[in-house]
Structure 1
Amino acid sequence: MVLLGSLVNGLSILAGSIIGKFLHNIPEGIKNAVMHAIGLAVLVLGLQMGLKSENFLAVVISLVAGVVIGEWMALEDKLNQLGIWIERKIGNHSNRSGSISEGFVTATLIFVIGAMGIVGALDSGIRGNHQVLFTKSILDGFTALILSSTLGMGVLFSAIPVFLYEGLIALFATQINHFVPKEMIDSFITEMTSVGGIMIFAIGLNVLGLTKIKVANFLPSLVVTVILVIFYHFV
C-alpha cells in the first residue's frame, strides 16, 4: 500500500494531539522546558540538514526567490486565515486567543517541512519501503503531544496537510523513476534537504521565541530548488 506510511504519520499526529489535550494540566514550567528542548532539537536538525548541500549557491537562490514569491502570495497569512477559519468553525476552547490558528500553523510547518517527509514519501512510492515515515511518525506523534498540550487542538488539524503532502509525493514517486534519472532524483533530495533544513532552523528559532520569521513564505523555495536542479542537470 503506497499510502501506508503517510496514513500512519497522519494518525500518529492525531493520536499525539488528542493525548496532549488531556495533559493540558502539565505545569507551565515543564511545558516551557519541553518546548525549549524541542526548539533546540529542531535547531540542530535544521543545521544538520542545511549543511548537506552540494551546491549552496542553488540553495541561496532558491531561498531568496522562494521567499519573494511567498511574500507576494502571502502564504503565511493564508495559513493563519485557514487556522482562524477552523477556529471559528469548532470554537476556541483554549485559554489563549488564537491558539488553534497558532497551533495549526506551527505544527503544519514543523511536520511538513523537512527531509524525512520528502525522503520517506519517495521511499514509499519508489521502493514500497515505509520505514522512514514510520520513524517520522514516532517523532511527530511525540511532538504533537507536547505541542497540543501547549498550543491547543489546532495541532490536530495539521494531520490533514501532512497526509496530503506525503501522500501526493508517494503517489508521484510511483511514476517518477520512469522519466527522471536517478542522478537527478538524488540531487533533488540533497538540495531540498538543505533548503528544508534552513527553514527548519528558522522554525526552531521561532519555537524558542527568538524570532518571528514567516517560515511559510519560504515554502516556494522547494519548488524553485526543483527548477534549479533540472536547470543544472541539463546545462
Structure 2
Amino acid sequence: MVLLGTIVNALLIIVGAIIGRFLKNIPENMKQTVMYAIGIAVVVLGIQMGLESTNFVLIIICLVFGGVIGEWIDIDKWLNKLGKYIEQKFGSKTAEGGSIAQGFVTGTLIFVIGAMGVLGALNSGLQNDHELLISKGIIDGFTAIILSATLGIGVLLSAIPVAIYQGAIALFATQITKLIPEAALELFIQEMTATGGIMIIAIGLNLLGLTKIRVANLLPSLVIVAIAVAFIYNF
C-alpha cells in the first residue's frame, strides 16, 4: 500500500495533538523548557541537513530567488488567512490564549518542511518502504503533544496538509523513475535536503523565540532547486 506511511504519519500527529490537549495543564516552565529543547533539536537537525550540499552557492541563489518569489506571493499571509478561516469556523482563542491559526501554521511548517517527509514519501512510492515515514510520524507525534499543549488544537489540523503533501509525492514517485534519471533525482534530493535544512534552522530559531522569520515564504526555494538541478544535469 503506497500511502501506508503517509497515513500512519498523519494519524500519529492527530493522536499526539489529542494527547497534548489532555496535558494542557502542564506547568508553563515545563512546556517552555520542552519547547526550547525541541527548538534546539530542530536547529541541530537543520544544520545536519544543510551540510548535505556540495554547492552552497547554488543553495544561496535558490533561497534568495525563492524568498523573493515567496514574499511576492506572500505564502505566509495566505497560510495565516487559511488558519484564521479555520479559526473562525471552529472557535476563536484557545484557553491558553493561543490561536488555532498559530497551531495550524506552526504545525504545518514543522511537519511538512524537510527532507525526511520527501525522502520517506519517495521510498514509499518507489520501494513500498514505509519505515522512514513511520519514524518521522513517531517524531511528529511527540512534537505534536508539546505543540498542542502549548499552541492549541490547531496543531491537529496540520495532519491534513501533511497527508496531502506526502501522499502526492508517494503517488507521483510510483511514476517518477520513468520521468527523471536516477542521477538527477539523487542530485535533487541532496540539494533539496540542504535547502530544507536551512529552513528547518529558521523554524528552530523561531521556536526558540530568537527570530520571526516567515519561513513559509521560503518554500518556493524548493521549486527553484528542482529547476536549477534540471538545468545543471542537462547542461
Q: Do these two structures clear the TM 0.5 threshold for a shared fold by scoring above it?
A: yes
Match of 1:226 in 2: 226
Query: How many residues in Structure 1 have an aligned counterpart in Structure 2?
Result: 235
Q: Structure 2 stretches of 5 or more lacking a match?
A: none
Q: What is the deviation of 1:97? A: 4.6
Q: What is the deviation of 1:91? A: 0.5
Structure 1 stretches of at least 4 aligned residues deviating more than 2 Å after TM superposition: 95-98
Letter in 1 for 2:227: I
Match of 1:46 in 2: 46
Match of 1:15 in 2: 15
Q: Structure 1 stretches of 5 or more lacking a match?
A: none
| 2:104/2:157 contact within 8 Å kept | yes
Match of 1:29 in 2: 29
Q: What is the deviation of 1:92? A: 2.7
Between the aligned partners of 1:120 and 1:189, the Cα distance in structure 2 is 11
Between the aligned partners of 2:98 and 2:222, the Cα distance in structure 1 is 28
| 2:65/2:221 contact within 8 Å kept | yes
Match of 1:185 in 2: 185
SS in structure 2 of the partner of residue 178 of structure 1: helix
Between the aligned partners of 1:160 and 1:215, the Cα distance in structure 2 is 19
| 1:184/1:233 contact within 8 Å kept | yes
Q: What is the deviation of 1:4? A: 0.6
Between the aligned partners of 1:179 and 1:221, the Cα distance in structure 2 is 22
Match of 1:173 in 2: 173
Identity, in percent, stands at 60
Q: What is the deviation of 1:56? A: 1.3
Match of 1:140 in 2: 140
Letter in 2 for 1:163: A
Between the aligned partners of 1:121 and 1:55, the Cα distance in structure 2 is 25
Match of 1:82 in 2: 82
Query: TM-score scaled to structure 1, two decimals?
Result: 0.98
Query: TM-score scaled to structure 2, two decimals?
Result: 0.98
Q: What is the deviation of 1:57? A: 1.5
Q: How does 1:148-227 map to 2 (within 5 A)?
A: 148-227=148-227
Q: What is the deviation of 1:93? A: 5.2
| 2:43/2:200 contact within 8 Å kept | yes
